[in-house]
């Protein structure tokens, strides 16, 4: 028996994990979603200036847990030098760094390539 679209949406809504928004300011948002066996951290907007400290705090908190972590860059429009340094440090951790969007994917590929050349194991 097929479920109606309303019933499917209700069923899906019951299965969604808890979401925690860490900080939303201007053009920056970081969201943490806890699943049963991993954590997803989504960074959106501008990764520059004072927003980097909030992103670092959120990621270090999640990375201290003993479960897999995925950090997703989504719709990132600007990354300054400190943002690049943060992403380089993040790429060297156990976090699975992913990206949506042309600019974000380019940055993640570049970081992975640099880490692979430097360490040979990312």
pTM over 0.75? The answer is no
DSSP 20: E
Enumerate the domain spans of the chain.
18-119
CATH architecture of 18-119: 2-Layer Sandwich (3.30)
**Nearest in space to 42 (alpha carbons), one of 73, 86, 67:** 73
- Tens of pLDDT, residue by residue over 12-67, are 333 444 454 444 445 889 999 999 899 999 999 888 888 898 899 989 989 998 89
């Amino acid at each position: 028996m097929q479920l109606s679209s309303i019933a499917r949406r209700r069923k899906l809504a019951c299965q969604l994990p808890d979401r925690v928004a860490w900080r939303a300011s201007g053009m920056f948002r970081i969201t943490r979603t806890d699943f049963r066996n991993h954590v997803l951290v989504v960074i959106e907007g501008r990764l520059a200036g004072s927003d980097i400290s909030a992103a670092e705090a959120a990621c270090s908190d999640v990375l201290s847990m003993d479960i897999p972590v995925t950090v997703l860059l989504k719709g990132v429009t600007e990354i300054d030098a400190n943002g690049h340094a943060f992403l380089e440090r993040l790429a060297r951790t156990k976090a699975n760094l992913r990206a949506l969007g042309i600019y974000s994917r380019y940055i993640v590929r570049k970081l992975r390539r640099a880490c692979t050349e430097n360490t040979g194991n990312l």
